[in-house]
Amino acid sequence: MNLRRVSAVARKEFLHVLRDPLSLIMALATPVMLLALFGFALTLDVDNIPLIVWDQSNTPRSRRLISRFDGSKYFAIQKYVDNYDDLVLEIDSARAMMGLVVPKELAELIDAGRNAPLQMIVDGSDSNRATIALGYAGVIAETYALDLTVEMNRRRGGRALSLPLDVRPRVWFNEELESRNYIIPGLIAVIMMVIAAMLTSLTVAREWEQGTMEQLISTPVAPGELILGKLTPYFVIGMCDVLLAVLMAEFVFRVPLRGNVALLFALSAVFLAGALAMGMTVSIVTRSQLLSCQVAVVATFLPAFLLSGFIFTIANMPAVIRGITYIVPARYFVTILKGIYLKGVGLEILGVEALFLAVYAAVMVLIARVKLKKKLM
pLDDT in tens, 148-205: 888 877 777 666 666 677 778 888 888 888 888 989 999 999 888 888 888 888 777 7
> Which contacts (CB < 8 Å, 24+ apart) does range 287-292 have?
287/204, 287/205, 287/208, 287/209, 288/205, 288/208, 288/209, 289/202, 289/205, 289/206, 289/209, 291/205, 292/201, 292/202, 292/205
Q: Is residue 360 domain-shared with residue 221, that is, in the same domain?
A: yes
Residue 167 pLDDT: 78
Residue 61 located in a structural domain? yes
Region 72-77 average pLDDT:
92
Residues 191/34, Cβ–Cβ less than 8 Å: yes
Residue 374: pLDDT band by 50, 70, 90 thresholds? low
Q: Is residue 214 domain-shared with residue 313, that is, in the same domain?
A: yes
Q: Is residue 354 domain-shared with residue 240, that is, in the same domain?
A: yes
The 119-122 sheet, strands edge to edge: 75-80, 49-55, 98-102, 119-122
Which one-letter DSSP state was computed for residue 288? -
Q: Is residue 201 domain-shared with residue 310, that is, in the same domain?
A: yes
**Alpha-carbon torsion angle 171, 42, 140, 176, nearest 10:** 20
Specify the number of domains making up the chain.
2
Amino acid at 68: R
CA angle, residues 119, 120, 125, in degrees to nearest 5 = 145
Q: Is residue 68 domain-shared with residue 186, that is, in the same domain?
A: no
Residue 356 located in a structural domain? yes
Mapped onto helix, strand or coil, the DSSP state of residue 284 is helix
Residue 170 located in a structural domain? no
Residue 336 pLDDT: 96
Strand partners, 122: 98
Mapped onto helix, strand or coil, the DSSP state of residue 220 is coil
CA angle, residues 156, 157, 158, in degrees to nearest 5 = 95
Region 353-373 average pLDDT:
91
Residue 295 located in a structural domain? yes
- pTM score: 0.83
Q: Is residue 32 domain-shared with residue 61, that is, in the same domain?
A: no
What distance, in Å, lies between the first and last C-alpha atoms of the chain? 24
What is the residue range of 76's domain? Answer: 49-155
Which helix (H) or strand (E) segment holds residue 109: the answer is: helix 106-111
Residue 203 pLDDT: 78
Q: Is residue 191 domain-shared with residue 304, that is, in the same domain?
A: yes
Per-residue H/E/C for 79-104: EECCCHHHHHHHHHCCCCCEEEEECC
Region 255-278 average pLDDT:
94
Residue 95: pLDDT band by 50, 70, 90 thresholds? very high
d(CA 349, CA 336): 9
- Domain stops at, among 124, 155, 186: 155
CA angle, residues 354, 359, 365, in degrees to nearest 5 = 125
Q: Is residue 209 domain-shared with residue 126, that is, in the same domain?
A: no
| Share of residues in the chain with pLDDT > 70 (%) | 96
Region 224-249 average pLDDT:
91
Residue 122 pLDDT: 95
Q: Is residue 188 domain-shared with residue 104, that is, in the same domain?
A: no
φ, ψ dihedrals at 54, nearest 5°:
-120, 100
Q: What angle do the packed helices 289-306 and 261-286 form, to 10 degrees?
A: 140
Span of 88-97, 127-136, 287-296 with lowest mean pLDDT: 287-296
Residue 173 located in a structural domain? no
Counting beta carbons within 10 angstroms of the beta carbon of residue 276, is it exposed (0 to 12), middle (13 to 18) or buried (19 or more)?
A: buried
Q: Is residue 329 domain-shared with residue 193, that is, in the same domain?
A: yes
Q: Is residue 196 domain-shared with residue 232, that is, in the same domain?
A: yes
Residue 250 located in a structural domain? yes
Higher pLDDT, 71 or 203: 71
Residue 311 located in a structural domain? yes
- Domain stops at, among 140, 155, 170: 155
Region 41-69 average pLDDT:
91
CATH code at position 146: 3.40.1710.10
Q: Is residue 359 domain-shared with residue 232, that is, in the same domain?
A: yes
Please name the residues in contact with 50: beta carbons below 8 A apart, sequence gap of 6 or more.
76, 78, 95, 96, 97, 98
Residue 56 located in a structural domain? yes
Beta-carbon neighbour count of residue 349 at 10 Å?
14
